[in-house]
A = this chain, B = another copy of it.
């Protein structure tokens, strides 16, 4: 063994028994997350509703069609350009409800605070949480607070659960994409992930990029209700882009609907600064998280009208048609590059950017 390899301990790259512990990559939203859910959670907890793996579960309770969704927010840092963990925790939950066509009604929130969290920070975040509730027409109806000793959490984690009501069917679903459908995106990708990265300690990235964190319920309402009368059932999938990025969402749709998806690289909107930071950090923007963008898959004859409806919303002023659903290569997402080649856009195995939401 040379001096060099001796001084560089390779065991950190492949620790013994590393398959038997939870790793950061398991939280990526990529293939490791999928494997953890498929191997550990679903075989034990699985049932007809949970197995759907949609953004929100649908359940009929005493005649009411309820949508329910939950997410823990562990973003670091808790304040970032364009938002904080409080507004993010509301927007993320509102968006998950909206993606099933549900009208968000009410939220619960559980705050896990680390001993030593400045009260002033907590106050700011609570205010931001409430402002986001007001902006989304929802309210917090039940909550919990826990405190753990210093070092047992990182400042603040918030778990938000949302309840909404579904008034029309069929609800948009990750399983409803069909060959021939058009794939639309509501705006440029990757701002949230890059804003978080840029605000992390030790990274001195000169960028003015702010998170795209935004509640999409009004945009979705328009997509579902402002088109012509027979439009509703032609909106097949809605999925907000979060961890795993655009690539993650498209792969989920391709897999769940058992279809192929083809997208054109030159049609994907990416802000110049996001591109630049991705190049510096060696990130692929297709995998960088958003928190205020959605993909919609609609029948081809609706695509133009839906783009026109979307573009009236500030949150979707940069909407684009980026590709097509195809019968070929089911389960695969293929990118046609600017220079004409094709490449498969797979799920990442592990983590590109940890603790992004």
Contact = CB atoms under 8 A, between A and B. Distances in A.
Contacts of A36: 145
A354 B69 CA distance: 30
Contact of A56 (B59, B63, B142, B151): B142
Contacts of A49: 106, 139, 141-142
A118 interface: yes
A117 B72 contact: no
A141 B50 contact: yes
A263 B152 CA distance: 38
Contacts of A129: 44-45
A265 interface: no
A285 B105 CA distance: 41
Nearest to A131: B44
Contacts of A64: 61-64, 66
Nearest to A106: B59
B149 A152 contact: no
A116 to B, nearest CB: 5
Query: What's the interface size class on A, roughly?
Result: 35 or more
Given A130-B44, A141-B68, A24 B109 contact: no
A181 to B, nearest CB: 26
A157 to B, nearest CB: 6
Interface string A116-134: 1111101100110110010
Contacts of A161: 68, 70, 108, 110, 159, 161
Contacts of A50: 139-143
A149 B354 contact: yes
Interface string A279-310: 00000000000000000000000000000000
A234 interface: no
9 contacts: A23-B115, A23-B147, A40-B123, A45-B126, A49-B139, A71-B144, A72-B157, A144-B159, A152-B153
Given A41-B143, A64-B66, A74-B148, 5 more contacts: A22-B113, A40-B119, A57-B106, A74-B152, A152-B355
A-B interface, 6 closest residue pairs, ranked by CB to CB distance from nearest: A27-B147, A159-B159, A70-B108, A62-B64, A161-B161, A152-B154
Interface of A: 19-27, 33, 36-37, 40-41, 44-45, 47, 49-50, 56-57, 59, 61-66, 68-72, 74, 76, 105-106, 108-120, 122-123, 126-127, 129-130, 133, 139-149, 151-154, 157, 159, 161, 163, 165, 354-355
